[in-house]
Every structure is written in C-alpha cells, then in structure tokens.
C-alpha cells in the first residue's frame, strides 16, 4: 500500500520529511510512529495507517513533499495475498480462461531453454543512490547572476520548490549585501594571508530551512516599522509577588508575568482590531478571534504555540493554558491545532536578557510585540526620583495595514493596562 | 475616448479604409444584404454598393482565389471566411500561391490581400465552429498572421493589414467580438504588424499569449497579485512575424515563462516561442519554459462540460502560474 502524506491542516500545503522512525524491512503495527514530518506550523510523528512491512521509503529525510504526495510503500497482509495463488489459478484454468487467455501474474519469465526461474516476489529495494541525491542544479539565470555578482550560492537561502534557489532569491541576496564585491575581496585577502581552515559549514536542518524561509518572507514581503514604549510595571511585579506562593499552592503552577501581559495584549487587540489582521491585495482581513501566539525557544528551533481566544481567559486561566502549551512546545509534543490560526505574536525576549529588540512580523499577521527584561531604574515621578521596575515593549508592524497612529494606540493601551495593575487586580 | 467592441472596431477599420481608398473592397458569404454572419459589414452594401461589397457563393476556394487574383491586379481585397473552420479549401490559394507571389516573381507582383476569419472556441460551437487555425498558416513564410485581442489592437492592426503589400491572415476570436470592449481613439492610427504589446507589467514571471487568452491571462495575473506573484502579460498580437525582441525582453526581465494558447499545444505557436527563448535567452531562464495549450483532441467536443475541459480558462492559467512561481 502506498502511503501518502496526509492533509494535516487547511492552510498547510507541504511538509518536510524528518527522521524515519522505521527502516525498510521493519514490521510496522497500525498507528506505529512511522516518520517525523515538519510543516511550517508544527512537527509531528506520522502514525502508520496500516499494519505491514515497510517495503520502500519514497521520500527521504529533508525532502519537501506536497500534501497527498507519496512517501512510502507498506506491504500489508492483503497485498501479500493479492497475487493469484495456485488454487485460484487452477480454478481459472478449469472454468474461466476462454479464448482470450489470462495473465498469470506470478509466473516467472521463461528462459531461452524453456525453463523459468524460481517464482519470487521481487521486493523493490530503495535505490541507494536516492539517499545521497546530488544538490539540485541551479538555473541558468541563477548561475549568471551569481557569477556577475560574485556570489557564493551556498550562502543563499532557497525559497523555491524543494528549497531551490530562484532568481529572486539571488537578487534579494544581492540587495541585502550592498558591498558584496568589497567584502568578497576582503574575505579573499584574509584567506590568502591565513592558510588555515577559517570556516565551517553547518548543514541546514529542515526546521532551520523552514524558519529561514519564513523570515525571508517576513523581511521581503512586509514593509515593517518599529516602535518601543517604556512601561512602569512596578504594580505588576508587586501583584505577582503577592500571589506567587498561594497560586503555586493552589494551582500547582508557577505564575509568571506573561499571563498578565497576554491579558493586556488581548484587551488591547480588541480595541485596536488592525493589529489583529492580515494584509491582502483585495483588502485588510480583520480576524474576529484573538489568537495569540507565544514564541518559544524549543530545542530544535523556534515554535509558536497559540492561545486561542485569549481574550476569554482570566489571568489564572491564561497561566494554566500557557504552562501546558510551553511544556508541550519544549518537548516537541504540540498538536497542529495548537500552532494554527495565530492572529498576533508575542515574544518574551526579556527572558533572554534583552532590553530592546526588533522582532520580525510573523507572516501573514500584521504585528508582533516583545516584552523586554524588567529592570529597576531610577525615574522621575511627581518631580521626585523613584526606583521603579521598568519594562520595554517593542512592536513591529506591517506598515501597509496601519500607520504609526494605530500602532501607538495599541502600545499605549498595553502600557496603560499594565501600569494599572495593582493589589486589587483580579487573577481569576 | 469612445468605448466600443472588437466587432465594432473591425467594422470601423474596414469602413474607414474603404472610404479612404477606392481599391479596397469586401467579399464573402452573406456579407452584403445580410451584413455578414456576425454583422461585421453591416450597412456596407448601402454605403459602398454591390461592386465593392460582393456576396459570394459558398465556395471558399473561389473566395480566396478571386481575392488573390484581384490583389495581384492592383486591388486591395478583404475576403471574409464565415468561420475559420471552413478555411481549409483556401489552403492551395493561400499557402500554395499567395505566400509565394512576391518571391516567385522577384518582386514584380505582390498580393496585398486580407483574409479575415472568425475563429476559436468557448461558444458552444462544437467541431465546425470552434477551430483555431493560426499555426497552420503561421508555418508559411510569405504570409502574415494577425491575432488581435482588444478593440484598439483589432482596429489598428486591421488597418495596417489592409495597407500591407503582402497577404495577411487576420484571425478574430469570435468570443471577443461582443465580450471585449475597450477604448479606441477617434483619430486615425495604425499598429505595426509584428509588434507585441505588454498588456500588464510584472517581474516574477511572464505570460506570453495572444487572442482571447490575453483576457484570461490578465484575470489570472490579477488573482496572482493577491498572492504577491507579479505577472507580466505579453500579448503577441501578431503570430507571424513574431516579435522576438519583446519575447526576449520579457524573459530577461522575469526568467520564468508561461505560454498560453487555445490552439493545439503540440507544434503550435507556443512551441516556436519556447524554442526561440531557449535559443536566444537561455542564460536568463530561471525555470523550464512552460506551455499551456489545447489538448491532444482532434476537435472541440459538443458536450458543454467537455468543452469546458478542452478550453484554457482563468483557473487553469492560475494553477500553472502558481506552479511556475513556486519553482
């Protein structure tokens, strides 16, 4: 039975084959994990739809396969029995052959001496050469551009089918490096003066490739503007401190600042729907649900689990949902539904120590916000110097969808909501 | 500028040329009293009289032969073949004779004739009212083959064809007759034969096409724009001679080419365009040159669902665009 890559989500069109969890010749039970599949939304283990023996791996690790594309061949009990056995053959001989004859599928070819070889079911072996398939060839246009501009194509990220490098990829690469010629010469000179190996290449994992392609999409398709707002979060810090222990005792989870921020973001998105939308040439599509993606650094790379309808949760509810999602993300156990349909992305870069960052909008969303590290700073409040807990929030947005006015209205709303958190703020 | 249909543009072109030049006359089946089966010559009989608006018998070979003879004798005939599907009896007169007049007489004689014919499918016309005939004529040096898509082009090109000193096969897609409207200036103009026209500019991929398909391609290009695929649409307008310079120009710009034509794909106009590209613009190609043409079926099916499958439409073009853009 030919195994196809199943349709795993309405907006997902292709997947990259990750590690095969079964080898050719292995016995496979129904629902056994067969292979890892990486899509632009999620990584998953594909369960075998049937019981049988893995006869052939058609799509190898790193291959991009469209939904519905063939990935493997599993020999099932039914297919083992399908060739006409001698019983049915003899029945046919007696009853049904007629003048047109029948095609006997399991007969061996007859050699020149009239003898046939032993009857055997040829198991097609995977072509060993497929494994180390050569790198895809470059088109004439790509080669010419690379030569004219002195570009090492190994450094260009391909966005074409199967990661092919297109003419556009090369021109984008040239534009991103205005001084290619100059830097190239410098590299050459240093290389000449220092004969030792001065660089090393890390092979791109499928997920690295996917992230790269998404980032190129964001950087090339979306004209992004950026702004930063300083927020006095002293009230939030105190409120969290006051409930930390009781929350842990009652709910069994640690309450972080993130649920407070998500709550404020969800409220602000409601008031500023343009931040919760997508650009299209026909018009701006406002999203009715507020589904906030949270960027999480998982061991293999960035993943963005989504809190669906974030505006409907209390701060405690958000804490629970997020604990669950982030744990799953770090263990690579997210379901597709848990990474789909995000309408806005939040990135807690402060956890990494950053105090200011410029995030890239998660295409096709229209905005992304970061929360930076909370730092105590002396500030002037009511003509006196006070020590307050300060946090920057940074917003990148699609300038086609909105202008600075709308973006700032959103940032200021988040700021005000966070600054108004006090000992009375409801957690449940 | 007034907005008129392709049919009105063709009628205006002929009327203006006939008023201007006494040598120009029209002939064909039902073109006089009836005004032509599509009314392309409506009102001509009363304005120009029977000597210049000639109803002929149902004999296409004679229509072409008489046109050729009168052209060689100094007149400028516009002969109408009622449907391109019935053009085959003219092959001997056109391919066998008209194309060779100038060459065979070392330029002493010429054949300034226009053979007009409505062609193309998508009109529920089945086997004998749907054919596309351009490739068969375009194969022959000595002929010019014009396939306009808009009222502006149709008028300017038909006037240029009437004034041209060589035989011109002027193929009008009958579905564009009343379906396609466009602005046409009141003042006098012609469009040179053999010049393609960029109907929409773009830089991700190029579509090279002509005739009715131009409009489907423009629609598909619009759809592609919403996916951030920028499509250039080059309308060949004339399929012989081909505008090699414009073809190469668009390939150098985008590196990806889709050639769309309703006529049979194999050995069609797109096959020649594809060959020219690989000969002259190989180094600019970023993807294989793709043709989207008619299927390997002898004629337009009678059944409407089958006709829909046969015809190239916006959806099929969109699919091809997406695939090529992805490459």
ipTM, 2 dp = 0.73
pLDDT at A108 over 50: no
Decide which of A162, A184, A209 is a domain's last residue: A209
Is residue A219 assigned to a domain?
no
Residues 6+ apart with CB under 8 A from B105: none
Give the pLDDT score at B173: 96
Whole domain around residue A178: which residue ranges?
Answer: 140-194+202-209
The mean-pLDDT minimum among A64-68, A73-77, A231-235, B160-164 falls in A64-68
What distance in Å separates the CA atoms of residue B173 and residue B170, rounded to the nearest whole number?
10
Write phi, then psi, for B147 (nearest 5 degrees).
Answer: -135, 80
B203 to chain A: closest CA residue: A168
More confident of the two residues A98 and B115: B115
Strand order in the sheet with A64-66: A43-47, A33-38, A14-20, A64-66
Same domain assignment for residues A366 and A264: yes
Is residue A286 assigned to a domain?
yes
Are the CB atoms for B32 and B177 separated by under 8 Å?
Answer: no
Residue A92: pLDDT band (50, 70, 90) is very low
Judged by CB atoms closer than 8 Å, whether chains meet at B283 and A141 is answered as yes
Residue A302: pLDDT band (50, 70, 90) is confident
More confident of the two residues B257 and A340: B257
Mean pLDDT confidence for B186-212: 97
Residue with tokens 């011109």: B168
pLDDT tens for residues A232-276? 999 999 999 999 999 999 988 999 999 999 999 999 999 999 999
Give the pLDDT score at A41: 61
- In the CATH hierarchy, which fold is given to the domain comprising B3-183? Rossmann fold (3.40.50)
By a Cβ cutoff of 8 Å, what residues of chain B touch chain A? 204, 225-226, 228, 254-256, 282-287, 326-327
Residue A61: pLDDT band (50, 70, 90) is confident
Decide which of A51, A78, A105 is a domain's last residue: A78
Judged by CB atoms closer than 8 Å, whether chains meet at B284 and A164 is answered as no
CB pairs under 8 A between A and B: 37
Write phi, then psi, for A297 (nearest 5 degrees).
Answer: -85, 100
Looking up residue A174, the CATH number of its domain turns out to be 4.10.320.10
The two three-digit tokens of residue A77, written as one number:
């009990």
DSSP per position, B211-275: TTHHHHHHHHHHHHHTTT--EEEEE-SEEES--HHHHHHHHHHHS-EEEEEEEESTTSHHHHHHH
pLDDT tens for residues B96-111? 999 999 999 999 999 9
| Closest CB from A143, A167, A281 relative to B226 | A281
Give the pLDDT score at B247: 98
Helix (H) or strand (E) holding B207: strand B205-209
Active site residue B129: yes
Contacts of A221 in chain B (CB under 8 A): 228
Q: Is the pTM of this model over 0.90?
A: no
Are the CB atoms for B41 and B7 separated by under 8 Å?
Answer: no
pLDDT at B217 over 50: yes
Are the CB atoms for B126 and B133 separated by under 8 Å?
Answer: no
Same fold, B3-183 and B197-326: yes
Give the pLDDT score at A9: 56
Judged by CB atoms closer than 8 Å, whether chains meet at B284 and A281 is answered as no
Is residue A132 assigned to a domain?
no
Looking up residue A320, the CATH number of its domain turns out to be 3.30.559.10
For chain A, how many structural domains are there in total? Answer: 3
Same domain assignment for residues A33 and A169: no
> Where do the structural domains in chain B lie, given as residue ranges?
3-183, 197-326
Same domain assignment for residues A262 and A390: yes
Nearest to B281 by CA among B315, B249, B242, B319: B249
Same domain assignment for residues A229 and A186: no
Judged by CB atoms closer than 8 Å, whether chains meet at A221 and B287 is answered as no
Residue A115: pLDDT band (50, 70, 90) is very low
Looking up residue A29, the CATH number of its domain turns out to be 2.40.50.100
Is residue A120 assigned to a domain?
no
Is residue A119 assigned to a domain?
no
Alpha helices in chain B (DSSP H): 6-20, 44-48, 60-72, 91, 101-104, 134-138, 151-163, 176-179, 213-225, 244-254, 269-280, 304-310, 314-326
Mean pLDDT confidence for A398-423: 95
pLDDT at A133 over 60: no
Same domain assignment for residues A60 and A187: no
More confident of the two residues A174 and B54: B54
The two three-digit tokens of residue A58, written as one number:
């058609």
Distance from CA of A27 to the nearest CA of B (A): 37
Is residue A104 assigned to a domain?
no
Distance from CA of A82 to the nearest CA of B (A): 36
Judged by CB atoms closer than 8 Å, whether chains meet at A281 and B285 is answered as no
Same domain assignment for residues A160 and A306: no
Same domain assignment for residues A182 and A240: no
What distance in Å separates the CA atoms of residue B96 and residue A17, rounded to the nearest whole number?
60
pLDDT tens for residues A137-188? 899 999 999 999 888 888 888 888 888 899 999 998 988 875 545 544 444 4
Contacts of B278 in chain A (CB under 8 A): none
Judged by CB atoms closer than 8 Å, whether chains meet at B285 and A160 is answered as no
Distance from CA of B277 to the nearest CA of A (A): 13
The two three-digit tokens of residue A358, written as one number:
């410029």
Same domain assignment for residues A228 and A176: no
Contacts of B225 in chain A (CB under 8 A): 281
Is residue A235 assigned to a domain?
yes
Decide which of A78, A107, A124 is a domain's last residue: A78
Residue with tokens 């203006």: B16
Q: Would you tell me which CATH number, out of the four given (1.10.238.10, 3.20.20.70, 3.40.1800.10, 3.40.50.920), belongs to the domain B197-326? A: 3.40.50.920
Is residue A111 assigned to a domain?
no
B287 to chain A: closest CA residue: A139
**How high does pLDDT run on average in chain A?**
82
Judged by CB atoms closer than 8 Å, whether chains meet at B326 and A141 is answered as no
Same domain assignment for residues A326 and A285: yes
């Amino acid at each position: 039975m030919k195994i196809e890559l199943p349709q795993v989500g309405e907006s997902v069109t292709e997947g990259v084959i990750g590690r095969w969890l079964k080898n050719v010749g292995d016995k496979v039970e129904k629902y056994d994990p067969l292979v890892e599949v990486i899509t632009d939304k999620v990584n998953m283990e594909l369960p075998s739809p049937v019981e049988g023996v893995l006869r052939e791996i058609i799509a190898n690790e790193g291959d991009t396969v469209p939904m519905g594309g063939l990935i493997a061949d599993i020999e099932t009990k039914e297919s083992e029995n399908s060739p006409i056995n001698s019983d049915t053959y003899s029945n046919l001989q007696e009853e049904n052959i007629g003048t047109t004859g029948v095609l006997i599928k399991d007969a061996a070819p007859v050699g020149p001496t009239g003898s046939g070889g032993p009857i055997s079911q040829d198991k097609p072996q995977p072509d060993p050469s497929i494994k180390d398939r050569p790198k895809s060839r470059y088109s004439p246009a790509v080669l010419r551009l690379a030569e004219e501009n002195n570009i090492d194509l190994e450094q260009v990220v391909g966005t074409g089918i199967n990661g092919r490098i297109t003419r556009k990829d090369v021109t984008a690469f040239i534009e991103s490096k205005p001084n290619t010629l100059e830097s190239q010469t410098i590299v050459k000179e240093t290389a000449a003066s220092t004969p030792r190996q001065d660089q090393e290449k890390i092979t791109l994992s499928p997920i690295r490739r996917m992230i790269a392609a998404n980032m190129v999409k964001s950087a090339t398709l979306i004209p992004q503007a950026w702004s930063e707002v300083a927020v006095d979060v002293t009230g939030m810090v105190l409120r969290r401190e006051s409930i930390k222990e009781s929350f842990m005792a009652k709910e069994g989870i640690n309450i972080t600042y993130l649920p407070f921020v998500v709550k404020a973001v969800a409220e602000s998105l409601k008031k500023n729907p343009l931040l919760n939308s997508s650009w299209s040439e026909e018009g701006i599509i406002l999203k009715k649900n507020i589904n906030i993606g949270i960027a999480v650094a998982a061991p293999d790379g960035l993943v963005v689990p989504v809190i669906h309808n974030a505006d409907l949760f209390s701060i405690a509810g958000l804490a629970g949902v997020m604990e669950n999602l982030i744990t799953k993300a770090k263990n690579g156990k997210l379901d597709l539904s848990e990474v789909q349909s995000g309408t806005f992305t939040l990135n807690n870069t402060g956890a990494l120590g950053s105090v200011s960052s410029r995030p890239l909008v998660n295409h096709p969303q229209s905005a992304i916000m970061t929360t930076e590290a909370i730092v105590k700073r002396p500030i002037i409040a009511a003509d006196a110097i006070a020590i307050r807990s300060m946090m920057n929030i940074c917003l990148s947005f699609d300038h086609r969808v909105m202008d600075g006015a709308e973006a700032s209205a959103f940032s200021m709303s988040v700021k005000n909501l966070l600054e108004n958190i006090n000992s009375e703020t409801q957690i449940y | 500028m007034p907005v008129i249909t392709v049919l009105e543009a063709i009628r205006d072109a002929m009327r203006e040329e006939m008023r201007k030049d006494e040598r120009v006359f029209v002939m064909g089946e039902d073109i006089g009293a009836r005004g032509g089966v599509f009314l392309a010559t409506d009102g001509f009989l009363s304005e120009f009289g029977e000597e210049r608006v000639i109803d002929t018998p149902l004999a296409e070979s004679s229509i072409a032969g008489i046109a050729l003879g009168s052209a060689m004798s100094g007149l400028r005939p516009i002969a109408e073949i009622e449907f391109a599907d019935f053009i085959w009896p003219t092959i001997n007169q056109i391919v066998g004779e008209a194309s060779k007049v100038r060459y065979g007489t070392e330029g002493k004689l010429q054949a300034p004739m226009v053979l007009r014919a409505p062609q193309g499918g998508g009109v529920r016309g089945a086997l004998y009212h749907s054919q596309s005939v351009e490739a068969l004529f375009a194969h022959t040096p000595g002929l010019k083959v014009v396939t306009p898509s808009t009222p502006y082009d149709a008028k300017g090109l038909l006037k240029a064809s009437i004034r041209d000193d060589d035989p011109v096969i002027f193929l009008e897609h009958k579905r564009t007759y009343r379906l396609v409207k466009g602005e046409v200036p009141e003042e006098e103009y012609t469009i040179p034969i053999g010049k393609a026209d960029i109907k929409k500019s773009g830089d991700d991929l190029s579509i090279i096409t002509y005739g009715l398909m131009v409009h489907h391609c423009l629609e598909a290009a619009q759809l592609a724009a919403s996916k951030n695929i920028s499509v250039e649409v080059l309308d060949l307008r004339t399929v012989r001679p081909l505008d090699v310079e414009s073809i190469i120009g668009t390939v150098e710009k985008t590196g990806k080419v889709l050639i769309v034509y309703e006529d049979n794909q194999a050995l069609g106009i797109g096959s020649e365009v594809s060959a020219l590209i690989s000969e002259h613009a190989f180094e600019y190609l970023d993807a294989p040159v793709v043709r989207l043409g008619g299927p390997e079926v002898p004629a337009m099916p009678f059944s409407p669902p089958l006709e829909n499958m046969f015809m190239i439409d916006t959806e099929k073009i969109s699919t091809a665009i997406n695939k090529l853009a992805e490459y």
